[in-house]
Structure 1
Amino acid sequence: MFCAASWAGAIGWEIDVQASVEGYDLIGDIHGCGATLAVLLERLGYHQRNGVYRHPRRKVIFVGDLIDRGPRIRLAVRIARRMVEAGQAYVVLGNHEINALTYTLKAPPELGREWLRPHTPRHNRIIKETLEQYHDHPQEWDETLAWFRDIPLFLEFDGFRVVHACWDHALIAQLRSQYADGRIDDAFLCRASLPGTLEFRILERLTRGGSIDLPEGVVIHSGDGFTRRSFRTHFWVRDPVTWGDVVFQPDNLPSDLERQPLSDDERASLSYYAPDEPPLFIGHYWCEGVPALPAPNIACLDYSAVKHGRLVAYRYNFEQRLEADHFVWVPVPRDATARPMPREIDFD
């Protein structure tokens, strides 16, 4: 469970942080690159004391997707969890934490399947590394799942916001009407397993972002080995006209589809985050190259760490116009894919 000091302020609509810390370091999708996370924290000036990484004047915010794919998943979760429980960090849920919860949660009989997230070859592949690395640590896995249940879908601070994939005002308002602090429960996850429900729309938009279906017969063979029949969209253009105006992913659209006009329904389905709104920090989108700001008030922190990219942080000092030179990152070396020896997991 979270300690009172770390989450007491998260119950209300906003968290007032400026009086207590010099600034926040927001860290992108880790995906099990636990050793690289430790390197990044050290570079940011955090040092381990009593098993917890701490900074004398700053705190961390993790934007989700701690697990899956990487070689040191337990280490990544342990570092983040200990920081949160010690009041040194905050965290929001990513789609991979949601995947883990629904993959391990029994479905109600009326759904006609055993698990909320069906154990298909695709879903099995995504969570494979996580289950294997926790295989000999079942109690730790159960505790990790319980911790995931206590993590909110979004955070709104006094002056900035954090969500894994997309800040949608209408959906967050509807979520707040029932879950004021953004922390959901198993009943919510069960309802979210049914396409078309409000809960489904909330989880999809906040943890996976928007998407548009590709034409019949057209697919994208993604760099992560999956075949996709839709593409991810962003949410910071006021009047987009074509698919190219909103596509936000490392994979190019096939053929000349960037010039494809948005239909009225597609345009209506898009979220919008205006340039005069508070700074927003997200992950999720597998960016590549040198970290850059997609909009003056939006920072995406996912730079494909687990694909030998960069594990990225943004050093936020409460500025209202974000600055690209506030990004800090470390490259993820290719030898980081080697499984750790057991002694490398514990850092006490």
Structure 2
Amino acid sequence: MSNGFQGVDLIGDVHGCAISLCLLLDRMGYRRIDGVYQHPVRKAVFIGDIVDRGPHIREALHIVRGMVEAGQAEIIMGNHEYNLLCYLTPGSGVDGYLREHTPRHQRIIQQTLDQFSGHQAELDDYLEWFMQLPLFLETERFRAVHACWHQGLIDRFRSEQGGNRIDRDFLHRSAVPESFEWEVMDRLLRGTHLRLPNDEVIVSKDGFKRRFFRTKFWAEDPQRMGDVVFQPDPLPEHIARLPLTDSQHADLLYYGPEQKLLFMGHYWCEGLPVPLTDNIACLDYSAVKYGKLVAYRLDDEKVLRKDKFVWVDVAREVGRLDTELGS
């Protein structure tokens, strides 16, 4: 790393778990100096989704933004930062905003709205900051994106936008379904997915009805739907056994083992943190659902190692302090 940094600590979805974040940073040797967490030789990279769901969203944002502005961290945009931007940005949508104000959308961001109640100027300032967040990072050694690395979309985005950040016009165009801008935000921030057959619906553990399921983009030769599902909620067995059609194969991506190390969040993993492949790691282990807030401590390795993960077990170490309102 340049500027004196010798290693990178990539941190998964925080979702307002500020207490867990403080514990994780402390565990990795970061110390709060003049109000900012910093490490003498390492730099943090946040994989997005700092907002929504958790009990200490404002505090988490303050920690992360302070580190970024002090040069101690970098951050990429998550789908929850993007969704909040669209929900609160006036536009030509059904409700007069870029993101429709449905009960489902309201439920997802309600904790953020509640915790910023009475702090509108502060919220407006964070929304402006979100506009500056890159959608992805790429160095000589690794890549980071919130949900999915799609090289074709990224190449076109770089060519048209001149970098890795959106602007206000791009944000508005991204609200138009099936547009290039919509596809960029959907794929990079939400990942790949397939529609459930025969208009079937599955209900997730958090009560959401879903007509799509999230899919792997690193399965080399998948044959059935069960070969590509990547989410905590399993597919019903009769769906998992169905063979993938030609059109479904065409919708899948493949990130091969020859490509750079890739870090992402988004997918609500469970269990013990381990690499998905030799060159892909997901860092979202459901911290806000009593899971783990996870980081990967990257040095000079070319193959990901399971012993490089470090985490805070929220249920055991933090409990209700960091996962319930009113703590």
Corresponding position of 1:208: 190
Match status 1:277 vs 2:264: no
| C-alpha displacement of 1:319 | 1.3
Deviation at 1:215, TM superposition (A): 1.7
For residue 107 of structure 1, give the secondary structure of its aligned residue in structure 2: coil
Equivalent in the alignment of 2:179:
197
AA aligned opposite 1:268: A
Letter in structure 2 aligned against 1:300: C
Partner of 1:264 in structure 2? 246
- Does 1:23 pair with 2:7? yes
Partner of 1:312: 294
The AA in structure 1 aligned to 2:277 is: A
Which secondary structure does the structure 1 equivalent of 2:237 belong to?
Answer: coil
Gaps of 5+ in 2: none
The residue number in structure 2 matching 1:225 is 207
Q: Is the 8 A contact 1:72 1:340 kept in 2?
A: no
- Which of 62, 71, 74 aligns to 2:58? It is 74
Does residue 242 in structure 1 map to residue 228 in structure 2?
no
CA contact (8 A) 2:145 2:188 kept: yes
CA-CA distance at 1:217 after TM superposition: 4.0
> Are 1:162 and 2:144 matched, yes or no?
yes
State the one-letter code of the partner of 1:58. Answer: R
Q: Does 1:133 align with 2:115?
A: yes
Q: In the alignment, which residue of structure 2 is the partner of 1:337?
A: 323
1:182 alignment partner, one of 147, 164, 177: 164
Which residue of 64, 69, 88 maps to 1:104?
Answer: 88
CA distance in 2, matches of 1:116, 1:19: 39
C-alpha separation in 2, matches of 1:308 and 1:302? 12
Letter in 1 for 2:323: T
* Deviation readout 1:195-222 (Å, 9 max, x if unpaired): 1111111111000000101023422111
The DSSP-based 3-state class of the residue aligned with 2:197 is: coil
Distance (Å, rounded) in 1 between the aligned partners of 2:290 and 2:275:
21
SS at match of 1:188: helix
What TM-score do you get using the length of structure 2 for normalisation? 0.96
CA distance in 2, matches of 1:256, 1:18: 51
Any idea what the Cα deviations from partners look like across 1:89-137, whole Å, max 9, x if unmatched? 00000000000100011113xx454010011000000000000001121
**Alpha-carbon deviations, 1:280-302, whole Å to 9, x = none?**
00000000011011111001000
Q: Secondary structure at the match of 2:301?
A: coil
Give the equivalent residue in structure 2 for 1:11: none
**1:39/1:330 contact within 8 Å kept:** yes
Aligned mates of 1:81, 1:318 — CA distance in 2: 27
Output the CA distance in 2 between the equivalents of 1:74 and 1:113.
26
Extract structure 1 runs of 4+ deviating beyond 2 A. 17-20, 336-341
Distance in 1 separating the partners of 2:307 and 2:237: 35
1:163 Cα deviation (Å)?
A: 0.2
Q: How many Å separate the matches in 2 of 1:113 and 1:307?
A: 31
Do the aligned partners of 2:54 and 2:324 also contact (CA within 8 Å) in 1?
no
Equivalent residues of 2:144, 2:264 under 8 A apart: yes
Question: 2:273 matched to which residue of 1?
Answer: 291
CA contact (8 A) 1:168 1:272 kept: no
Q: For 1:317 and 1:82, locate their aligned partners in 2 and report how far apart those are by CA, in whole Å.
A: 24
Is 2:50–2:57's contact at 8 Å kept on the other side of the alignment? yes
Aligned residues of 1:166 and 1:205 also touching (Cα < 8 A)? yes
Aligned residue number for residue 41 of structure 1: 25
Distance 1:112 1:75, change over 3 A: closer
SS in 1 for 2:254: coil
Closer/same/farther in 2, CA of residues 148 and 19 from structure 1, 3 Å limit? closer
Deviations 1:241-276 (A, max 9, x none): 111121100110013222211111111111211101
TM-score (norm 1): 0.90
- C-alpha separation between the residues in 1 aligned to 2:223 and 2:3? 43
Q: Secondary structure at the match of 1:292?
A: coil
Q: Is the 8 A contact 2:142 2:260 kept in 1?
A: yes
Aligned length: 323
Match of 1:122 among 104, 114, 139: 104
AA partner of residue 168 (structure 2): D
Who is 1:142 aligned against? 124
